[in-house]
Structure 1
Amino acid sequence: MKTIAQNPDDYLSKVPEDRRAALTKLRATIATNLPDGFEETMSYGMIGYVVPRSIYPSGYHCDPKLPLPYMSIANQKNFIALYHCGIYADDQIMRWFIEEFPKHSNYKLDMGKSCIRFKKPDFIPFELIGELVKKISVQDFIDLYEGRIKNS
């Protein structure tokens, strides 16, 4: 559900109470594990993690004025979403995540190309998300983006 929040704290203040703690913990998990160079911001109405233009001046090919998006978290109508472009771009990381998920959750993985949906906020596998976040450095993501996404 898109919001007009001014910053991540404002975004979280608008999330329904029954999901706020889970989204806050998800944000903290990402912040603790996010490799140097990525930056937290508001992106597409969600809490986003981007490669800033100071590191990647070309920006996002769909809109070069924007920084390169890497990951976002959002409160959607029926779930909490984690959008992770690294999973979308790297088959090896996708396979790793799919194999690891059942070790961290009793629930079936609900996933699209880059979207991981958590319908039960109390059962988000935070440890696994932390491991996922650490797997791709800024330079690794730039290389993935240029090699697999930008020109596709």
Structure 2
Amino acid sequence: MSNTLSPAASAGLESLAVGGDALVGMATLGKTAAALALVIAIILVCTALLRRWGLQKRAAGGHLQVIGSAALGSRERVVIVEVEGTWLVLGVGGGQVNKLHELAAPVRPVEEASHSPHEGERFAARFARALKQNAGLGGPGRGDS
């Protein structure tokens, strides 16, 4: 027996090698697309977190705060903004912003401890305290003796 292959067998092996190269190329392309999708997902998640935490306002110094807004039409709005202790009532529409009125910002009430001891407390702290109370781990307001 000889170690040479027939021309048909060698052509079949070459086509398998070319097909194998195509599969490797497709696998590489798939890995690249998956990595790109992962990077885009990370960017979108980071953007959503930054918007939720309001870091844009802190970066700008926090001098401007939107108090309220109301739509008057499909493109027209009335917006109340606070700038350094002054409220501005602005008309926004048609590519223009017009000052409609200006007034001193009302004094925000200082939270007093006389109303409730937990009034200014963050939700996470109140929730943790409630879980402890319900689990029987003690804390004020339990009612057990």
TM-score band, normalised by the shorter chain? under 0.3
Larger Rg: 2
Instruction: Compute the TM-score of the two structures, normalised by the length of structure 2.
Output: 0.19
Higher relative contact order (CA 8 A, sep 6+): 1
